[in-house]
Chains A and B, each alone.
Chain A
Amino acid sequence: MTAQVVLNGFVTGMVVAMPAVALTLIYGILKFPNFAIGAMLTAGAYLALALNVYLSLPVLYAAAIGALLFAGIAVGIDQAVFRQLRERSAITLLVASMGVSFVLENIARFIFGNGARSFELPLARPKVVLGLRINSEQMVTAAAVIVAMTAVYVVLRHTPLGRAMRAVSDNPSLAAARGIDRERIVRWTWVIAGILTAVAGVLAGMDRAIDPLLGWNYIVTVFAASILGGLGNPVGAVVGALTVGIVEESSTLVLPPNYRQVVSFCVIALLLLLRPYGLAGAQRIKR
C-alpha cells in the first residue's frame, strides 16, 4: 500500500517536473515567475487533443507535433507580450503572464467548451510488478519524462546553447559583454519551455481528463516544486517535483485527495520560512 502510494506519487512528480523545469528556466533567463505555466499546460493538451481527434493522429504523433507547434506558439507569445516588457519589473511581467494565462485558457474554452474531454486511447489492463499496479499511462509518462529530462540536461550541460543559457541566467551583463545574444537565448528558452509544458499537458490529460482548468489545478504544485529546488535551478526543480509528488500522494492517506494543492502550499510556506533559497542551497535572494 505504502509502496503503491510512493510509486503513484513518483509518477505524478514526473509529470510536474516538466512544467517545473520550464518555469525555472524562464525564471533563470527572464527573472519572473511565469503564472501562465498552468494555462500553457492546458493549451498544449488541447492542441494535441485537436490533432488527435480532428486529424485522427495517434496520441504519440499528436503529442509530438503538438509540442513542436506549441514551442512556436510560446516563442510567439514571448515576442508579442514579454518582449515588449523586457526592461520592466518582475511584477509587471507577472501581471502580464496572468493576462496571457486568461487568453490561452479561454481560447481553449471558446473552442472546446467547459466539458471534460479525453484522448482516444486504447484501453489496457494495469500490469502488476512486485505487487505494484502500474498502468500503461504511468509507463508512458515515465518514459516520456525520462527522455525529455535527459534531453534538457544534455542541452544545458553539453551544448554551446546550454552554456550560453546558463551564462545569461547567472550574469546577464557579463554574458552580453562576452557577445552572447540574449534575445536568441530567450527564444530558445521558450522553445524548450513550450515543448516541456505541451508534453506535460498531454501526460496530465492522459492521467486525468482534459478541461480548461487542467493546468490551473497543477499550478501550486509546480510552483512548490520549483521553489523547493530553488527557482532558477533545473536539476533542483526535478528533485523538487518528485518530492512534492510523493508528499502530495502520501498526504491522501490522511487527508481528502482534494487537498493536494493545500499540501503543496504548506510545503511552499514552510520552505520560505525555513530555507528561503530552496533545499538545493545558494541562490541569489534579494532583500
Chain B
Amino acid sequence: MIDYLITILTLVGIVAILGLALNLQWGLCGMVNFGMAGFFALGAYTAALIALAGAGTLAATLAAALVCAMACGFVAMISLRLSEEYLAILTLGFGEVIRLFVLNEDWLTQGSLGLPGIPRPFWGWVSEKTYEVWFLGLLITVVLVLFIALEVLLRSPFGRAIRAVREDDIVATTLGKNVVMLRVKAFALGGAIIGVAGAFHAYYLTYIDPSQFSAVITAYVFMAVIAGGRGSNRGLLLGAATIMVFIEGTRFLKDLFNVMDATQLAAIRLILIGLGLILFLIYRPQGFLAEYRLKSSVAVQKSASFLRRARLRTSEPKPH
C-alpha cells in the first residue's frame, strides 16, 4: 500500500511539473500548448539518450531542458505574427512530428521497442529498497524549487509583463514591452520545464517507449491546470494531485466491476477526463483557486472610506 502511495505521489509530481510549465505558457502568457505530450517525449528521450551515453543524470536533465526550450522557442517563433489559434495548431503538429520521429528513427530511439536501462540519479547512494522514497523526495524538491521560482517570476517585472501580453498585447506594445521576445522567452522557459519533467519520467520508469507519450498526457495536464485554476500555481498543485489520484484511484474499479476489460476501463477514464474538461470550462472556468492578482489593500480601503464619507456628506442615493 505504501509503495502504491509513493507511485501515485511520484506521478503527481511529474504531472505537477508539466502543469507548472503549461501554467507559465498558457496560464500566464496565454500561449496554448497542445503538443505537451510531444515535448514531454522529447525531454524524456533526450535525457535517456544522454544518460545512457554515460554523461550523468545532471547533464542529461540540463540537456533535456535545453533541447525542449529550443524546440518550444522555435515553434513560438514560427507563429509570432499570428493569432493564438495558429500556435495551438503548430504545437499539436510539432507534438505529432516528435512522436513519429521517435517511432520511426530506430537507429536512435529503437522505435516502438523503447529504451531500457536508463540510469537514475543518485543510484547506489542509498539502498535499493528505499530508493523510490529518495527519488520521490528529490522529485518533490524539484517541484518545490520550480514552484517557488515561478511564484517569484510571477511577481517580477517579467511576470507582470507576460501577463500584460496575455491580457492585451497591443497595450503591452504601447507600453514599450517587446511582445515578441516576451512570448518566445516565456514559451521557451515553459519548454525547459517540460524537459525536466520528461527527464524525471525517464529516470523513474528506467524504460521509455513511444506509447507512454500519447495525447492523453496533454489532456491530463490541461485538466490539472483548468481544474486548479488557470494562472494559479497553488491551484495547479491541487489540480495535479486531484487528477492523478482520480486516474490511479479508478484502477481499483476494475476489481469491483468484472464486466469491463482494461481497454474499456481506460476508455471510461478518458471519457470522464474529456467531460471534466468541458464541464470545468462551462461551469467553473476559474478552477479551484483564483489567479494571484496584485492588490493594494491600503489604497482600496482609503478610496472606499473616502467614497463613503463623500456619500454621507452629499446624502445622495447610491450610484448603482
Contact = CB atoms under 8 A, between A and B. Distances in A.
Interface of A: 32-33, 35, 81, 84-85, 88, 90-92, 94-96, 98-103, 105-107, 109-110, 113-114, 216, 219-220, 223-224, 227, 231, 256, 258-259, 261-262, 264-265, 268-269, 272-273, 276, 285-287
B100 A269 contact: no
B250 interface: no
Contacts of A110: 263-264, 267-268, 271
A272 B96 contact: no
Contact of A102 (B82, B89, B273, B285): B273
Interface in B77-110: 78-79, 81-86, 88-90, 92-94, 96-97, 100-101, 103-104
B79 A272 contact: yes
B270 A106 contact: yes
B138 interface: no
A214 B278 CA distance: 23
Contact of A91 (B82, B84, B271): B84
Given A102-B271, A107-B271, A272-B86, A95 B277 contact: yes
A287 B97 contact: no
Determine chain B's interface SS by DSSP, over half rule.
helix
Interface of B: 26, 30, 32, 34, 78-79, 81-86, 88-90, 92-94, 96-97, 100-101, 103-104, 169, 215, 218-219, 222, 226, 263-264, 266-268, 270-271, 273-278, 281-282, 285
Contacts of B101: 262
B88 A94 contact: yes
A104 to B, nearest CB: 8
B82 A92 contact: no
B267 A265 contact: no
Contacts of B104: 256, 258-259
A261 B286 CA distance: 35
B319 to A, nearest CB: 27
Contact of B263 (A84, A91, A113, A272): A113
Nearest to A114: B263
B278 A35 contact: no
